[in-house]
Structures are given as C-alpha cells and as structure tokens.
Chain A
Amino acid sequence: MQYMVLGEESNWLPQVRRGVAEHCVLALLASGEKYGFELARELGARGQIIASEGTLYPLLARLRRNGLVETSWRESTSGPPRRYYQLTSEGELALASFKKQWRVFRDVVDEILSEGDQE
C-alpha cells in the first residue's frame, strides 16, 4: 500500500516538526477543546506540520503524558463517544513561551536567509 505524505519531505523537516508540531497542536486547542479527528483534518489540510494524520495521535498521547493537555469523553451524535482534548494551565504556559521564542527564532532565520540573498 502506498501512503500519502502531506507536504514536501526534506531531511531537516521531520526534525523541525518534532518540536514545532506539538506547539501547533497546543495553539489549535487555545480556542477551545477539539477531538482527534477534527485536529488531524485541520492539520492535515494545511500540510507541513504533521507527516500524516495518524502521526497526530502519538503526539497527543505525549502532550497528555506531559500534562499539557487533558481529555474528556463526550457523546457524539454520529457514532461512538469522542475523546476531546483541552489545554491545561501548563499547556497554556508552554504555548505562550513557545510563541515568544518562535517569533524571535523565525526573525533571526529570516534575517540570515535574506542576507544570503543579497550577496
């Protein structure tokens, strides 16, 4: 079976994803609780952040283990109950600190790349 890969693969991308994807999930949860399928579709549609929809679930399990998200079961009108993910206060803190650091990091990378263009 062939498996589709979302976004373009490069050597560095999986390594950058590792830390970034977790925080993107936290950011998507900042607006309110979501269930896995919803998150997977949202991230999958954008590409880049997760390699395939299924890889979201180990990531969510890790966030839960680290106390950054918590889950609760809710009945669904269309099928079995869903596990909803929600930020904990620790998760909110982690997201806030990531946002700050990421902007600085991104600006420096952009600056270096654009200097390279000028030469």
Chain B
Amino acid sequence: MTSRQSVGEADKLVRSYLAQLDTALQGVDRRSEILAEVRGHIEEGRAELDPDDLAGIRTLLDRVGDPAAIAAEAGAPSQESRRWDPWAPWLIIFGPVAGGLGWLAGVLLLWISPTWKLRDKLIATIVPPVGLVALFFGLVTALHAAASCPASASCTTSKLTLPLAVAIPLAVAGLAAHLLPPIHLMRTRARS
C-alpha cells in the first residue's frame, strides 16, 4: 500500500469511527459537544503520528474506546429501549390495511422509542394518513373518470370526480406522502 492509500484508509477509519459514535450518541444531552471533543481528541492524537501510520490510528481509536461505552457514559438510552424500532415504519405503512390497529401500534412504537426526533415523529404520525386519504381519493376518482369516458379524449367530469390530470398526480402525491415519512424513519434508524 502506498503512503497516500494509507492516509486515505486512515481517514476512512476515523470517519467511520466518528459516524458510529454519532449514532451511538443519539438522544444524548450535549451530543454535538461530546462528538466535537472526541473528534478534536483524535486530531490531536493523529498529529503525533505519521500521517500514514495505520496501526497507530487503530491503537489511537482503541484507546478512545467503544462508541457504545462512551454513549453509556453519556447516559444514552439502552439498546433495550430500541428493540421494537424495526416494526414502527412497517406498521405505519401497512398497518392501515389491517383495520387501522396495526397503524395504531406502529405510531405507539414510534412515540415510545428514543431513536427518532420529535419532528420526525410528528411528521410520520400525521403525513402518512393524509397521504393515504389522498391516494385513495385520487385512485377512486381516476377510476371513475376512466370508467365514465372510455377511450374518449373529451369527457366531461361530474361534480364528484376530478379530471384524470388532477386525480393521477393526487394519487401519486398521496402515495409518496404515505411512504416517504416511514422510509425516512428506516433511514435514520439504519444510521444508528
């Protein structure tokens, strides 16, 4: 390995360590302060090493220690309190199909978990149901419009239906609004 490759590799080790720490510190008071201080610590330690000293970087990170131990010292919520996290986004997506109880369970799991921020919880609670209603309404009116004017370019719409040009985008936007917040939940969780 050339020394430039080693420097790149060393950067990668440090970045990956800091990313692990960042997610381990989720929900911790003074998270950014702790993270900045550990980053500074690693920079100070690297300044003492040759820039391509990979073994030195590994030892340095070993001495900084397991991100989970740092998070525990910072009072991070335990893994136990996150055990149901994987279910919440799926229940929010598919829960409404099962009579709404599944959705209710998903929202409950979402709110008791320390993993997500308040803003994400609010969005994932409110937006998907609105999206689902829009999707349903858009689909029904689109089908209605399509059925009432088969293969004809100039069809008039009744009071209850929307033109296809409105109904289809409405359904698509509804689908997006239903899916995107839970997908965002999955992504923020994957970073933890």
Residue numbers of A with Cβ under 8 A of B are 1-6, 36-37, 40, 44, 51-55, 57-61, 64-65, 78-80, 82-83
28 contacts between A and B (CB under 8 A): A1-B58, A1-B61, A3-B61, A3-B62, A3-B65, A3-B69, A4-B59, A4-B62, A36-B37, A37-B40, A37-B44, A51-B65, A52-B63, A52-B70, A54-B38, A54-B64, A55-B65, A55-B73, A57-B34, A58-B34, A58-B71, A60-B37, A61-B30, A61-B37, A61-B74, A65-B30, A79-B44, A82-B40
The reply to whether A59 and B73 form a contact with Cβ atoms under 8 Å apart is yes
> Does B45 sit within 8 A of A, measured CB to CB?
yes
Minimum CB–CB distance from B21 to chain A (whole Å) comes to 8
Minimum CB–CB distance from B73 to chain A (whole Å) comes to 4
The reply to whether A1 and B34 form a contact with Cβ atoms under 8 Å apart is no
> Does B12 sit within 8 A of A, measured CB to CB?
no
Distance in angstroms between the alpha carbons of A105 and B88 in the assembled complex: 49
B residues 28-59 touching A (CB-CB < 8 Å)? 28-30, 33-34, 37-38, 40-41, 43-45, 47, 58-59
The reply to whether A58 and B74 form a contact with Cβ atoms under 8 Å apart is yes
Distance in angstroms between the alpha carbons of A58 and B36 in the assembled complex: 11
The 8 Å CB contact of A61, one of B34, B41, B65, is B34
Task: Find chain B residues with CB under 8 A from A61 CB.
Answer: 29-30, 33-34, 37, 74
Sorting the interface of chain B by its residue count into under 10, 10 to 19, 20 to 34 or 35 or more gives 20 to 34
The 8 Å CB contact of B70, one of A57, A78, A82, is A57
Given A37-B45, A44-B63, A53-B65, check contact A58 B40 (CB 8 Å): no
The 8 Å CB contact of A79, one of B43, B65, B69, B75, is B43
Task: Find chain A residues with CB under 8 A from B120 CB.
Answer: none
B residues 133-157 touching A (CB-CB < 8 Å)? none
Residue numbers of B with Cβ under 8 A of A are 21, 28-30, 33-34, 37-38, 40-41, 43-45, 47, 58-59, 61-67, 69-71, 73-75
Distance in angstroms between the alpha carbons of A80 and B44 in the assembled complex: 9
The 8 Å CB contact of B62, one of A2, A60, A80, is A2
Task: Find chain A residues with CB under 8 A from B64 CB.
Answer: 52-54
Distance in angstroms between the alpha carbons of A2 and B43 in the assembled complex: 20
Distance in angstroms between the alpha carbons of A113 and B2 in the assembled complex: 58
Given A36-B37, A78-B47, check contact A51 B69 (CB 8 Å): yes
Task: Find chain B residues with CB under 8 A from A36 CB.
Answer: 37, 40-41
Distance in angstroms between the alpha carbons of A54 and B59 in the assembled complex: 13
Distance in angstroms between the alpha carbons of A80 and B34 in the assembled complex: 16
Distance in angstroms between the alpha carbons of A57 and B29 in the assembled complex: 12
Task: Find chain A residues with CB under 8 A from B59 CB.
Answer: 4
In the A-B complex, the 3 residue pairs with the closest CB atoms: A52-B65, A58-B74, A54-B64
Distance in angstroms between the alpha carbons of A65 and B62 in the assembled complex: 27
